[in-house]
A and B are shown apart, each in its own frame.
Chain A
Amino acid sequence: GAGVSQTPSNKVTEKGKYVELRCDPISGHTALYWYRQSLGQGPEFLIYFQGTGAADDSGLPNDRFFAVRPEGSVSTLKIQRTERGDSAVYLCASSLSYNSPLHFGNGTRLTVT
């Protein structure tokens, strides 16, 4: 079956602009996670959804970051007033339940110029 799909695969934006990153999880997976990965680092937790609700958003760095999952499937990560420090690969992962292994997409590489 289809895996986790993330679009776009690459996004270049100017400092101060708004961006949206999309994640299509594996069908039937109720848990969805966003992670951020910088070069040479492991994935860093941002937010976790169980169904439609954000069960844990403690990893969001500040209020410029926001994520939604309105129908319990597709999720969008939104970043306002982007800064150069936001440049990274944003990874989305889904799982059958909260304690099942994560299945990752290939990420969106965000570059803020």
Chain B
Amino acid sequence: EDQVTQSPEALRLQEGESSSLNCSYTVSGLRGLFWYRQDPGKGPEFLFTLYSAGEEKEKERLKATLTKKESFLHITAPKPEDSATYLCAVQAHTGNQFYFGTGTSLTVIP
């Protein structure tokens, strides 16, 4: 069964304190791995797509990486406005569904 596990569930960082969020996945043939950001009361906002192991994508203070079993979202020198829930999702070659993890709630303290 296709599955996504995210850790930690919650993370509190001081402004400027870099860290990483983890997304472990089990999927029967990965079509793509997706990272989203979700603010309270809003729908998830697309950040990155990764398709194959070794691939990396960057956007401002965020960098996503992918291996055959997991993905990391690295946050460099975070700011309070980076506070949000970060969701990871996978899509398998065998279907059209996107399977989401339960997310990591990130709080960046000024």
Contacts and interface: CB of A to CB of B under 8 A. Distances in A.
B97 A59 contact: yes
Contact of B98 (A4, A33, A40, A50): A33
Given A42-B87, A43-B44, A43-B87, A102 B102 contact: no
A98 interface: yes
Interface string B24-45: 0000000110101000011111
B1 to A, nearest CB: 13
Contacts of A58: 97
Interface in A96-111: 98-99, 101-107
B46 A101 contact: yes
A69 to B, nearest CB: 15
Interface residues of B, number: 24
Interface in A69-113: 91, 93, 98-99, 101-107
Interface of A: 4, 31, 33, 35, 40-45, 48, 50, 55-56, 58-59, 91, 93, 98-99, 101-107
Given A42-B89, A106-B41, 10 more contacts: A42-B103, A43-B98, A45-B97, A48-B96, A55-B96, A98-B96, A99-B91, A103-B46, A104-B45, A105-B43
Interface of B: 4, 31-32, 34, 36, 41-46, 49, 87, 89, 91, 95-103
